[in-house]
């Protein structure tokens, strides 16, 4: 039973200097330690260890460099006012990691060992969890294929690694609405592809469109489906929601959309509040129509990094659609405050989402 | 001018033992040296060097592990009977590398420096070029994003690396026809995506279908387009050709198909021989129809690793189509012998494809 494996801990002798909490940025600074566990076809997952944060040393023929077998996750730990450490729905991340693993032909990771690794690593580096409002400890578990061989086939060897970074707000604009460019040329993913998996290739595929949007003065792109080029999928690396005539709509999970954990939490919160919410196919034409006839009340992206990111303007084929005069909507604000409140322990958690470390 | 940069050479002191030429496999053994050049936003490509084959040392936050910005190429060097060293159309690989770089927001690499690097590295390790029929020195240039930062944006730092591997035949079946499974569930790429780029994510996306085909007794999958799921794109990691009624047909480059250099060479050879060749949209229905009415004369895949791989059987939605009684066709054989003859210098090269090293 993998769950009973003991994690060896090698403590760092020289502690790094911690950056000021108002200059954290996102994913730039890393804590003193990292978790590693190896996989070999004949041994399974073995030798779990916490070691000082250090470089990864790989043969140049390691499959991750050539054939992209790599999966990642992202979640956050929060320090509450009374000093507790809370994780937001970590099992969901491990379960999604395993679904991504399945799609990319990577062996499954036992949920217990991954959760144990998360908890022990956070405990070792707990003085890295920032305390200022909006800050948190971002946790990045990832798997890489390490077999040094150029044949195109699943790797026989892997590493599962966890690194952690104290972070400020993801978007420098904060919770202010962002401007989004509706992408018509490039496609992020298609049904039958790997859009549902949290794998590197999906992000590489999106960079060029993202750069194009930035050049035009937009924060992110809104992705349309790869087949009809008209149904809304995601916005940047977030899921997306629209409040139309009092009902909240979000694209249904169709195989090419990432099953966001924040997305799932928002849906549960809305149902809890008796606000109607529908997961369905939404076309960009329909959205523009709702925007023009005044029934589009709010739009926002959801994700671990930003939590809620209100959308103030869309641009589709050079036609601009300003949403709510570019101001943050009431529901967006309430969702942001409630979810971050639950995450940081200032608001009760009726869903039993938070997992306390230790 | 990058082209004038001098490549520093650090020679390996301990030479590795060379594997027997009948046990080379593909991409398992690597030569004594590798080429590396670094890129930094403020310096451009700099410090080109040939060093002993050694591990790559990267921060665990390096972007290649998380967001998949990585490109590769594959080409071969051959030792002729009279001892010359020939490269097959290397400029084409460098040009395609740069087209892939452009799609993945990776900076362009100067053609001269890449070609110079190839030639110098091959010269340093020239005693690694195998001489037995069917063998060659496989060369794997690749780019990886090295910036240690978790924000989703193009990396500010990269490495371009070349490693080399003496190889035998790619397919253990040799030039005997292979059985191919027509994939109906999974999709490799879609127009607007990165299918045309030689990037890791495309290969990761194909592994699951490939494993499924293997489990059913097939060597590779034949990919259909991601939109209509009926037009033929590629076979495994090769381009594909069909001889129907005396004319050779291959899917037209549409943005989601890799622009194979072997593909281009086959088209030129066919034109040179006055055999009609058409690049166009080909549906799987049409192909099956041709197979049933007897007009499908030959089918084969093309790629650097296998050169020509005849197809003896297809399986689409449980319907089997045996091609040419499962035997290698005359044209497939002639193309294989001609192309490998040109590559190894036993047949004149009317196209000026081969580049001599030194």
Report which of B126, B124, B134, B130 is spatially closest to residue B20, judged by C-alpha positions: B130
Of B152, B193, B207, the CB nearest to A190: B193
Q: What is the pLDDT of residue B4?
A: 57
Q: What is the pLDDT of residue B2?
A: 45
Q: What is B30-82 written as a DSSP string?
A: --SEEEEEEEETTTEEEEEEEEES--EEE-TTBHHHHH--EEE--EEEEE-TT
Q: What is the pLDDT of residue A2?
A: 45
- Chain B residues lying within 8 Å of A154, measured CB to CB: 207, 211
Distances (CA, A) of B342 to A329, B335, B337, B352, B356: 68, 11, 9, 10, 12
Q: What is the pLDDT of residue B171?
A: 53
- Chain A residues lying within 8 Å of B212, measured CB to CB: none
d(CA B103, nearest CA chain A) in Å:
7
Q: What is the pLDDT of residue B170?
A: 60
Q: How many helices (H) and strands (E) does chain A have?
A: 7, 19
Q: How far is C-alpha A73 from the chain's CA centre?
A: 6
Residue A51, H or E segment: strand A44-52
Confidence of residue B5 (pLDDT cuts 50, 70, 90): confident
Of A68, A138, A226, the CB nearest to B204: A68
B30 contacts A68? CB cut-off 8 A: no
Q: What is the pLDDT of residue B21?
A: 93
pLDDT > 90: percent of chain A: 94
Number of CB pairs, chain A paired with chain B, less than 8 A apart: 226
Q: What is the pLDDT of residue A184?
A: 95
Instruction: Tell which of A54, A57, A65 to mutate to test the B interface (max B CBs under 10 Å).
Output: A65
φ and ψ of A154, to 5 deg: -60, 145
Contact B353, B86 (CB under 8 A): no
- Chain B residues lying within 8 Å of A194, measured CB to CB: 201, 204-205
All residues at 6 or more sequence positions from A81 whose CB lies less than 8 Å from its CB, including other chains: A344, A345, A346
pLDDT in tens, B182-231: 999 999 999 999 999 999 999 999 999 999 999 999 999 999 999 999 99
* Burial of B189: CB neighbours in 10 Å, binned 0-12, 13-18, 19+: buried
Taking the C-alpha atoms of residue A338 and residue A340, their distance in angstroms, rounded to an integer, is 6
d(CA B293, nearest CA chain A) in Å:
31
Q: What is the pLDDT of residue B173?
A: 52
pLDDT in tens, B279-335: 999 999 999 999 999 999 999 999 998 899 999 999 999 999 999 999 999 999 999
* Burial of A110: CB neighbours in 10 Å, binned 0-12, 13-18, 19+: middle
Could you give all domains of chain B from N- to C-terminal order, each with its CATH number? Answer: 2-167 (3.30.470.10), 178-344 (3.20.10.10)
Report which of B121, B162, B122 is spatially closest to residue A65, judged by C-alpha positions: B162
B194 contacts A28? CB cut-off 8 A: no
Q: What is the pLDDT of residue B1?
A: 39
pLDDT in tens, B240-276: 999 999 999 999 999 999 999 999 999 999 999 999 9
ipTM for the assembly: 0.96
φ and ψ of B93, to 5 deg: -65, -40
- Chain B residues lying within 8 Å of A208, measured CB to CB: 103-105
Dihedral angle sign, alpha carbons of residues B315, B317, B320, B322: negative
Q: What is the pLDDT of residue A1?
A: 39
Block residue for tokens 């999958």: B221
Of A153, A201, A229, the CB nearest to B200: A201
SS3 A251: strand
Q: Which residues pair with A324 in a beta bridge?
A: none
Block residue for tokens 């909240």: A248
Q: What is A22-35 written as a DSSP string?
A: GG--SS-S--SEEE
- Chain B residues lying within 8 Å of A233, measured CB to CB: none
SS3 A5: coil
d(CA B266, nearest CA chain A) in Å:
23
Cα–Cα–Cα angle for A302, A308, A311, nearest 5°? 90
Report which of B63, B152, B143, B135 is spatially closest to residue B106, judged by C-alpha positions: B143
| Long-range contacts at B209-214 (CB < 8 A, ≥ 24 apart) | B209/B183, B209/B185, B210/A152, B210/A153, B210/B236, B211/A105, B211/A153, B211/A154, B212/B181, B212/B183, B212/B186, B213/B180, B213/B181, B213/B183
With a cut of 50, which residues of chain A have pLDDT below it? Answer: 1-2
A68 contacts B200? CB cut-off 8 A: yes
């Amino acid at each position: 039973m993998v769950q009973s494996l003991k994690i060896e801990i090698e403590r760092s002798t020289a502690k790094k200097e911690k950056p000021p909490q108002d200059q954290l940025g996102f994913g730039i600074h890393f804590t003193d330690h990292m978790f590693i566990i190896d996989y070999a076809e004949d041994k399974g997952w073995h030798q779990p260890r916490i070691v000082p944060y250090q470089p990864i040393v790989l043969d140049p023929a390691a499959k991750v460099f050539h054939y992209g077998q790599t999966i990642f996750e992202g979640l956050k730990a929060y320090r509450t006012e009374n000093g507790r450490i809370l994780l937001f729905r970590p099992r969901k991340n491990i379960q999604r990691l395993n679904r991504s693993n399945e799609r990319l032909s990577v062996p499954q990771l036992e949920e217990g060992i991954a959760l144990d690794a998360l908890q022990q690593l956070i405990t070792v580096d707990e003085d890295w969890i920032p305390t200022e409002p909006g800050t948190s400890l971002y946790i990045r578990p990832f798997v890489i294929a390490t077999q040094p061989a150029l044949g195109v086939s699943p790797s026989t060897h892997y590493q599962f690694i966890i690194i952690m970074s104290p972070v400020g707000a993801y978007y420098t604009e904060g919770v202010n609405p962002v401007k989004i460019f509706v992408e018509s040329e490039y496609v992020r993913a298609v049904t039958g592809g790997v859009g549902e998996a949290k794998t590197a290739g999906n992000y590489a595929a999106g960079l060029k469109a993202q750069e194009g949007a930035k050049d035009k003065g937009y924060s992110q792109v809104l992705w349309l489906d790869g087949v009809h080029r008209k149904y809304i999928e995601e916005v940047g690396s977030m899921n997306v929601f629209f409040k139309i005539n009092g009902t909240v709509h979000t694209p249904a999970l169709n195989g090419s959309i990432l099953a966001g954990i924040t997305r799932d939490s928002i849906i549960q919160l809305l149902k809890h509040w008796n606000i109607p919410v529908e997961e369905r196919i939404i076309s960009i034409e329909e959205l523009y129509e709702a925007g023009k006839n005044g029934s589009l009340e709010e739009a926002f992206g959801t994700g671990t990094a930003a939590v809620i990111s209100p959308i103030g303007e869309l641009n589709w084929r050079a036609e601009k659609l300003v949403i709510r005069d570019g101001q943050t909507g009431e529901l967006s604000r309430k969702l942001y405050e409630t979810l971050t409140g639950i995450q940081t322990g200032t608001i009760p958690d009726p869903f039993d989402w938070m997992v306390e470390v230790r």
